[in-house]
Amino acid sequence: MKALILCAGYATRMYPLTKDRPKPLLPVAGRPMIEHILKRIEKVNEIDKIFIITNKKFFSQFEFWKHNYKLKKEIIIFSDGTTSDKNKLGAIGDIRFVIEKAKINDDILIVAGDNLFNFDLNKFVKFFRSKSCIVAVHYIKDRELIKKYNEVILDKQRRIISFVEKPQNPKTTLTAICMYLFSKENLKLVKEYLEEGNEPDPPGKFLEWLYKKICVYGYLFRGTWFDIGDIRQYEIVNKIWQTRK
Is-contact 213 189, C-beta < 8 A? yes
Q: CA 205 to CA 221: how far, in whole Å?
A: 22
Q: CA 61 to CA 38: how far, in whole Å?
A: 17
Binning pLDDT at 50, 70 and 90, where does residue 128 land?
very high
Model pLDDT for residues 44-60, shown as the tens digit of each residue? 999 999 999 999 999 99
Q: CA 102 to CA 105: how far, in whole Å?
A: 9
- Whole-structure pTM over 0.85, yes or no? yes
Model pLDDT for residues 139-194, shown as the tens digit of each residue? 988 888 888 889 999 999 999 999 999 999 888 899 999 999 999 999 999 999 99
Return phi, psi of residue 78, to 5°: -115, 145
Which residue from 61, 64, 97 is spatially nearest to 82, judged by alpha carbons? 97
Q: CA 33 to CA 98: how far, in whole Å?
A: 21
Q: What is the pLDDT of residue 223?
A: 82
In the predicted model, is pLDDT for residue 245 greater than 60? Answer: no
The DSSP result for 102-160, as a single string, is TT--S-EEEEETTEEE-S-HHHHHHHHTT-SEEEEEEE-S-HHHHTTSEEEEE-TT-BE
To the nearest whole percent, how much of the chain has pLDDT over 70? 99
In the predicted model, is pLDDT for residue 134 greater than 60? Answer: yes
Which residue from 57, 53, 58, 59 is spatially nearest to 4, judged by alpha carbons? 53
Binning pLDDT at 50, 70 and 90, where does residue 229 land?
confident
Domain ranges of the chain: 2-244
**Angle, helix 188-195 to helix 203-210, in steps of 10 degrees:** 100
- Domain 2-244 in CATH 3.90.1150.10: no
- Residues in contact with 151: Cβ distance below 8 Å, sequence separation at least 6, in sequence order: 162, 163, 164, 167, 170, 171, 172, 174, 175
To the nearest whole percent, how much of the chain has pLDDT over 90? 75
